[in-house]
Chain A
């Protein structure tokens, strides 16, 4: 087991679920209730020192009982190491605590995850959509049940057919 994963396991034995190292990337899966204490530990502990937030992302697995996965990627500038933390969220209780209090950059990243996948972030200071319009109510585009071509509003445009428009040439 990777030493960083081992440290998380000894510190948070109840929240630690699994770890996987693949292609040189370390990924640790934890329970979603403990995400803020674990992130605070990763950020503040001098032995971990993950001070740089790389990205927050999300993956949708419609068949799984815990449907969504929130993915955090951190980097330590002094120790030059990377770690990926993952937490599962169910569709019924589609929310996880925000880490904006630890990394300021998490603000926009969490808003993007909410906008694209519909996962709510508790205690987020500015919880709004970011890329889609504020009044957009057709769902969350990156979910697997959202069709690639959109939800049909394209078909509602009026097309100019040959009989109705004047020929200019």
Chain B
């Protein structure tokens, strides 16, 4: 009840003109109102993992939304301190388990920065190609699940059709679809075969038509527009202050993309643009992801055209793993493999931070080395975790039905959020 209504003098109760029964005064509150607490999750199909949110509601409006994190906490940072640098690569797959390649990439880049290691050019191109394929997979996954959460089920089947093609490409490349562990410190695990290059070219040929299909389903869909336009709006200043990154930040009009401004891989050797939004709402972020898929397809196409010949791995016996076929036949290589996995390689003492533009945002690794074969401290700057910090701020004032849209707009994955 507002103060204005409280101060208003209470009028005498009127009588019904026919029956004479007193009619209750409209100015008096007829119903008791109070804030409602609602637990959403941790088991909810739209939370993309196990996330619980304690909602404080006034009617259907969200007054406060407190995320309760940690249901998927596995202590990855603690585990890192107990293994060698090579042994941590498979752990990074399990951070953002729908986009494992980019996690591998971010981690091996950080270790290479620590070692001050230069990777062969072919490896840089291969890394860029696979990372961008992973970005397309990530965005397709996001588009399908976000549309499914909002109620447009059809898009899911269309995006997963293309996602399957690309996951089969990963399967042929490294033998795994999701937890890939394909990147290695100093290069990549194996070379790409001409057949696979042909598969990729064939996929890219009609990928833009496929994107048009999704857009035909969503772009002018009234329900999609009503549920995404003007939802979860965040201004550029707030987005920067919260440390948001990736499409969530670029949707607010901030031109921040590490691939462009701190180039790595082969990103500075190909032509592409950074799509930037205007309104900072869910629709803009959706549109940026669509445009990013187009840009990714452009990058992959150019990288495949330019792909140079040469080694795909640094040949440094102190650091890099030997070829698998040689390990079983050659004693020196077996000793090298054994040494690298039992003792690891020693890194120079020091500390580095290396951020990589994953498809969700800036995925960074802060590594403190004491000169031994294991990281002294390894901190993961996970975009999903930092995006959850802005969740309460972005959810306030919206309807309870919008909450799944707001989860989805970050492209959140709890494995990365809780680590």
Are the chains A and B members of one assembly? yes
CB contacts (< 8 Å) of A55 on chain B: these are 243, 353, 364, 366, 379, 381, 386
Residue B242 is within 8 A (CB to CB) of chain A in the complex: yes
Whole-angstrom CA separation of A71 from B388 in the bound complex: 21
A54 contacts which of B116, B350, B353 (Cβ < 8 Å)? B353
A107 contacts which of B261, B379, B389 (Cβ < 8 Å)? B389
Assess whether B78 is in contact with A148, with CB atoms less than 8 Å apart: yes
B-side interface mostly: mixed
Assess whether B351 is in contact with A104, with CB atoms less than 8 Å apart: no
Q: Which candidate, A11-19, A20-28, A161-169, is the interface stretch facing chain B?
A: A20-28
CB contacts (< 8 Å) of A98 on chain B: these are none
Q: Which candidate, B4-12, B67-75, B152-160, is the interface stretch facing chain A?
A: B67-75
Assess whether B377 is in contact with A84, with CB atoms less than 8 Å apart: no
Whole-angstrom CA separation of A156 from B364 in the bound complex: 37
Assess whether A59 is in contact with B377, with CB atoms less than 8 Å apart: yes
Assess whether B114 is in contact with A105, with CB atoms less than 8 Å apart: no
Q: Tell me the minimal C-beta distance from A116 to chain B in angstroms.
A: 7
Assess whether B243 is in contact with A105, with CB atoms less than 8 Å apart: yes
Residue A108 is within 8 A (CB to CB) of chain B in the complex: yes
Residue B191 is within 8 A (CB to CB) of chain A in the complex: no
Closest to A23 in B: B352
Residue B137 is within 8 A (CB to CB) of chain A in the complex: no
B388 contacts which of A57, A84, A108, A146 (Cβ < 8 Å)? A108
Assess whether B254 is in contact with A54, with CB atoms less than 8 Å apart: no
B69 contacts which of A73, A104, A130 (Cβ < 8 Å)? A130
Assess whether A22 is in contact with B350, with CB atoms less than 8 Å apart: yes
Assess whether A131 is in contact with B390, with CB atoms less than 8 Å apart: no
A23, A71, A77, A132: residue with the most chain B Cβ atoms closer than 10 Å: A23
Assess whether A103 is in contact with B353, with CB atoms less than 8 Å apart: no
A104 contacts which of B114, B241, B261, B385 (Cβ < 8 Å)? B241
Q: Mark A57-74, 1 if CB is under 8 A from B, else 0.
A: 101100000000001010
Q: Which of B375-419 contact A (CB under 8 A)?
A: 376-377, 379, 381, 385-386, 388-390, 393, 418-419
Interface size on A, residues (CB 8 A): 34
Q: State whether A131 and B366 are in contact (beta carbons under 8 Å apart), knowing that A52-B243, A57-B379, A105-B241 are contacts in the complex.
A: no
Residue B355 is within 8 A (CB to CB) of chain A in the complex: yes
Residue A109 is within 8 A (CB to CB) of chain B in the complex: yes
A22, A59, A108, A132: residue with the most chain B Cβ atoms closer than 10 Å: A108
Residue A142 is within 8 A (CB to CB) of chain B in the complex: yes
CB contacts (< 8 Å) of B216 on chain A: these are none
Whole-angstrom CA separation of A130 from B51 in the bound complex: 12
Closest to A102 in B: B241
Q: State whether A54 and B241 are in contact (beta carbons under 8 Å apart), knowing that A22-B351, A109-B389 are contacts in the complex.
A: no
Give the number of residue pairs across the A-B interface with Cβ within 8 Å: 98
CB contacts (< 8 Å) of B262 on chain A: these are 80
Closest to A43 in B: B241
Residue A53 is within 8 A (CB to CB) of chain B in the complex: yes
Residue A32 is within 8 A (CB to CB) of chain B in the complex: no
Q: Which of A78-137 contact B (CB under 8 A)?
A: 80, 82, 84, 103-105, 107-109, 112, 116, 130-133
Assess whether B390 is in contact with A142, with CB atoms less than 8 Å apart: no
Closest to B237 in A: A51
Q: Which of B349-376 contact A (CB under 8 A)?
A: 350-353, 355, 362, 364, 366, 368, 376
Assess whether B77 is in contact with A116, with CB atoms less than 8 Å apart: yes
CB contacts (< 8 Å) of B73 on chain A: these are 131-132
Residue B79 is within 8 A (CB to CB) of chain A in the complex: yes
Whole-angstrom CA separation of A131 from B74 in the bound complex: 10
Chain A residues packing against B (C-beta within 8 Å): 22-23, 25, 27, 51-55, 57, 59-60, 71, 73, 77, 80, 82, 84, 103-105, 107-109, 112, 116, 130-133, 141-142, 146, 148
- What are 22 of the A-B contact pairs (CB < 8 Å)? A22-B352, A23-B350, A51-B240, A52-B256, A55-B243, A55-B353, A55-B366, A57-B366, A59-B376, A71-B366, A71-B379, A73-B364, A77-B254, A84-B353, A104-B393, A105-B243, A105-B389, A105-B390, A108-B386, A131-B418, A132-B70, A148-B81
Chain B residues packing against A (C-beta within 8 Å): 69-70, 73, 75, 77-79, 81-82, 113-114, 116, 238, 240-244, 254, 256, 261-262, 350-353, 355, 362, 364, 366, 368, 376-377, 379, 381, 385-386, 388-390, 393, 418-419
Known interface pairs A59-B377, A142-B78; 7 further A-B residue pairs with C-beta atoms within 8 A, sorted by A's residue number: A53-B243, A55-B353, A55-B379, A55-B386, A71-B379, A73-B353, A105-B389
